[in-house]
């Protein structure tokens, strides 16, 4: 709770994003804080919170492009799931939640830290600037960078390559600054770091992991030095050698569900304690089901007939009573009190015919009401809505669809509970990046060892989080979504389900990586890097709704794919001249059909234009 209290104080000081001009000094109000009054540690906690939010809010949308999730409702998710690229996204949130509370504080944090010899805080500024702008470039392709945080009211745009290379320079600077000793008189980083507790060793490993991640994004480029914007396998492996070596090195943000008095004042006016994905997905009705593709990969990976021990944690459950009509493929808990969801087949017409119909609980059982024969089985799809003891006022983490009735409980899913940790960087991801690079080099034996280590690391991480939840509430211990995985199941999976070095494929590596980076923009990024290849992403297919809805082809013609987001509304409304001008430097931009508006960035097909790293362009 310590850091959330600091965040409340930080919010007051950091809301003044720029210092007063000299001519206003005479009118300074001693009771109104300015940017200069914010302490380094208070400012840093505030910025860390919004840095996470500005990444995870887009991730709550981009994950739906990847065919692993289904939804019956939502403000943005159905459009992403169905590849309706003319629909809504989180563009405004992605830009605003980074540029205002984080970006607006970055110059002062960096400059004040450097002046005071607080080099670790300056390193944090470099890290957050790199992380935030790289996310914008991943989403939008181009964005203001050089002039973004200065005095320009209409900052000029930079190309995707310029932003990318600038972020690499920033992460290198962060690594160097984290290794400098701070002036003993300044506040220790531990006072302002709610991610790694001031452990600069973990920060350096995180920075190297991010550098390896970003350099691996250049897999479509020609081989060569990363300093020239080329695909540099040697540098990626060198970075991984200095990154995480076990789960103990992970950077993980842990959240609380206590409905504290510390509420967000930049966006949705909600408590800052709980996870962003709970806010976007977990607390909302009918926002998430698992797809058949995801379900089948978890329950029968590589057609070995062996279930992933993580399947029970990733697939939602509901309390239920078995009947004679229950399909045989439904899995039940050992005590027969919980029923696991099946996967929604996005390669069927279920969405186009109005499904999955959402179950309600009445008269002692689950029902979809009066539906036609096509949807009578929709009760078999359990939504991933989560409960809450703090914000929601429940008695535990389960969501009860009929208030106060335990028989109507839903388990939620691993990533979207109020206390689901946010993984900023992990050893598991390092392993999968390493496996990909080694596989490209033809070293299948070493690639397999890295692949296997990544799977095991992620299983262990999931088990540790479940143990944390059960330690906080022993009543969860026998619920399949929370109970510990059996070691025998883990061993069987690792020894018999994931294959061998001899039959390793890029598809196995990338499909397993999807589990480890689930609900992140990295999921969508990998889909783009591999051009949505169904031989790479096992059991994946284009959504039925897209393939059978001609109006969607206006925005994503057949043969093209979702590649970027449309720019945020304020850029198109208030910075249009600079946005228009950068188009001449973006390969393919001026070839887009523009209709009567004549502007490349308003093309109906703008979302199919590859960003810089998603192409062979120099």
Q: Are 290 and 69 in contact (CB under 8 A)?
A: yes
First to last CA, the chain: 48
Is the CATH code 1.25.40.390 the one for domain 1-19+34-243+533-618? yes
Q: What is the DSSP letter of 372?
A: -
Strand partners, 252: 423
Q: Are 179 and 600 in contact (CB under 8 A)?
A: no
Backbone angles phi, psi at 488, to 5 degrees: -65, -35
Strand partners, 223: 231
Q: Are 251 and 424 in contact (CB under 8 A)?
A: yes
What gap in Å lies between CA 185 and CA 182, rounded to an integer? 8
Domain boundaries, the chain: 1-19+34-243+533-618, 289-519
Residue 36: predicted pLDDT: 59
Q: What is the DSSP letter of 202?
A: H
Residues of the chain with pLDDT under 70: 1-37
Contacts of 146 (CB under 8 A, 6+ apart): 155, 156, 158, 162, 166
What gap in Å lies between CA 233 and CA 230, rounded to an integer? 9
Q: What tokens were used for 31?
A: 């009771």
Task: Look at residue 30 and give its three-state secondary structure.
Answer: coil
Work out the number of other CB atoms within 10 angstroms of the CB of residue 111: 12
Torsion of CA 518, 523, 527, 529, to 10 degrees: -140
Q: What tokens were used for 545?
A: 């709704």
Residue 506: predicted pLDDT: 98
Task: Look at residue 9 and give its three-state secondary structure.
Answer: helix
Residue 30: predicted pLDDT: 45
What gap in Å lies between CA 564 and CA 380, rounded to an integer? 34
Residue 28: predicted pLDDT: 41
Name the one residue in this structure whose structure tokens are 């009918």.
286
Q: Are 9 and 42 in contact (CB under 8 A)?
A: yes
What gap in Å lies between CA 109 and CA 186, rounded to an integer? 13
Task: Look at residue 263 and give its three-state secondary structure.
Answer: strand
Residue 169: predicted pLDDT: 98
Residue 2: predicted pLDDT: 44
Backbone angles phi, psi at 249, to 5 degrees: -90, -5
Work out the number of other CB atoms within 10 angstroms of the CB of residue 496: 11
Contacts of 141 (CB under 8 A, 6+ apart): 160, 564, 586, 609, 610, 611, 612
Task: Look at residue 423 and give its three-state secondary structure.
Answer: strand
Task: Look at residue 361 and give its three-state secondary structure.
Answer: strand
Q: What's the half-sphere exposure (Cβ side, CA atoms, 13 Å) at 194?
A: 27
Burial 205-226 (b: 16+ CB within 10 A, else e): bbbbbbbbbbbbbbbbbeeeeb
Strands 338-340 and 317-319: antiparallel
Work out the number of other CB atoms within 10 angstroms of the CB of residue 442: 7
Q: Are 555 and 605 in contact (CB under 8 A)?
A: yes
Residue 132: predicted pLDDT: 98
Q: Are 57 and 93 in contact (CB under 8 A)?
A: yes
Based on C-alpha coordinates, what's the Rg of the chain? 24
Q: What is the DSSP letter of 149?
A: T
What gap in Å lies between CA 149 and CA 610, rounded to an integer? 26
Q: The pTM is what?
A: 0.94
What gap in Å lies between CA 456 and CA 463, rounded to an integer? 11
What gap in Å lies between CA 94 and CA 73, rounded to an integer? 21
Burial class (CB in 10 A: 0-12, 13-18, 19+), 373: exposed
What gap in Å lies between CA 486 and CA 321, rounded to an integer? 25
Residue 411: name the closest of 461, 355, 475 by CA. Answer: 475
The distance from CA 419 to its chain's CA centroid, rounded to whole angstroms, is: 16
What gap in Å lies between CA 13 and CA 222, rounded to an integer? 47
Residue 34: predicted pLDDT: 54
Work out the number of other CB atoms within 10 angstroms of the CB of residue 201: 11
Contacts of 285 (CB under 8 A, 6+ apart): 73, 358, 383, 385
Residue 35: predicted pLDDT: 57
Task: Say whether the peptide bond before residue 356 is cis (omega within 30 degrees of 0).
Answer: yes
The distance from CA 232 to its chain's CA centroid, rounded to whole angstroms, is: 25
Contacts of 201 (CB under 8 A, 6+ apart): none
């Amino acid at each position: 709770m310590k850091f959330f209290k600091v965040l409340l104080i930080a919010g007051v000081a950091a809301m003044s994003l720029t210092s007063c001009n000299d001519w206003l000094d005479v009118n300074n109000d001693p009771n109104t804080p300015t940017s200069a009054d914010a302490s380094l540690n208070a400012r840093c906690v505030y910025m860390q919170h919004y840095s996470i939010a500005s990444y995870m809010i887009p991730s709550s949308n981009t994950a739906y492009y990847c065919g692993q999730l289904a939804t019956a409702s939502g403000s943005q998710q159905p459009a992403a799931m169905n590849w309706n690229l003319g629909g809504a996204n989180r563009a405004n949130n992605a830009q605003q939640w980074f540029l205002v509370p984080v970006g607006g504080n970055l110059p002062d944090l960096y400059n004040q830290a450097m002046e005071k010899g607080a080099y670790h805080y300056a390193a944090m500024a470099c890290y957050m600037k790199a992380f935030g702008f790289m996310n914008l470039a991943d989403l939008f392709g181009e964005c203001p960078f050089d002039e973004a945080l200065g005095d320009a009211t209409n900052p000029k745009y930079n190309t995707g390559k310029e932003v990318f290379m600038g972020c690499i320079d920033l992460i290198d600077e962060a690594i160097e600054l984290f290794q400098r000793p701070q002036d003993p008189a300044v506040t220790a980083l531990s006072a302002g770091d709610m991610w790694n507790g001031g452990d600069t060793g973990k920060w350096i490993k995180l920075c190297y992991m991010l550098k390896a991640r970003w350099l691996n994004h250049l897999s479509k480029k020609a081989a060569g030095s990363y300093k020239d914007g080329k695909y540099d396998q040697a540098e990626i492996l060198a970075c991984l050698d200095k990154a995480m070596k076990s789960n103990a090195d992970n950077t993980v943000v842990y959240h609380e569900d206590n409905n504290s008095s510390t509420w967000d004042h930049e966006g949705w006016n909600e408590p800052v304690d709980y996870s962003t994905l709970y806010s976007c997905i977990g607390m909302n009705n009918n926002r998430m089901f698992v797809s058949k593709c995801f379900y089948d990969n978890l329950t029968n990976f590589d057609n070995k007939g062996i279930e992933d021990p993580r399947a029970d944690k990733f697939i939602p459950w509901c309390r239920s009573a078995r009947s004679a009509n229950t399909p045989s493929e439904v899995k039940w808990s050992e005590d027969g009190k919980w029923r696991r969801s099946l996967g929604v087949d996005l390669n069927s017409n279920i969405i186009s015919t109005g499904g999955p119909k959402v179950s309600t609980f009445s008269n002692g059982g689950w029902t979809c009401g009066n539906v036609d024969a096509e949807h009578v089985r929709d009760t078999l799809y359990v939504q991933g809505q989560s409960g809450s003891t703090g914000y929601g006022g429940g008695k535990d983490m389960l969501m009860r669809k009929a208030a106060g009735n335990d028989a109507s409980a839903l388990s939620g899913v691993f990533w979207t509970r109020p206390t689901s940790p946010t993984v900023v960087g992990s050893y598991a991801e390092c392993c999968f990046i390493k496996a990909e690079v080694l596989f490209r080099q033809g070293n299948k034996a070493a690639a397999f060892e890295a692949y296997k280590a990544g799977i095991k690391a992620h299983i262990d991480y999931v088990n540790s989080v479940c143990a944390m939840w059960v330690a906080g509430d022993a009543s969860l211990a026998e619920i399949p979504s929370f109970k510990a995985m059996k070691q025998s199941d883990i061993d069987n999976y690792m020894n018999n389900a994931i294959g061998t070095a001899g039959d390793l494929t890029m598809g196995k590596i990338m499909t397993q990586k999807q589990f480890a980076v689930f609900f992140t923009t990295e999921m969508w990024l990998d889909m783009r890097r591999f051009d949505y290849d169904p031989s790479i992403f096992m059991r994946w297919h284009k959504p039925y709704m897209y393939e059978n809805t001609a109006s969607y082809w206006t925005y994503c013609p057949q043969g093209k794919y979702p590649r970027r987001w449309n720019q945020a509304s304020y850029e198109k409304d208030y910075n249009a001249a600079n946005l228009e001008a950068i188009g001449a430097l973006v390969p393919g931009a001026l070839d887009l059909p523009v209709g009567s508006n004549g502007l490349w960035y308003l093309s109906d097909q703008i979302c199919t234009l590859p960003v810089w790293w998603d192409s062979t362009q120099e």
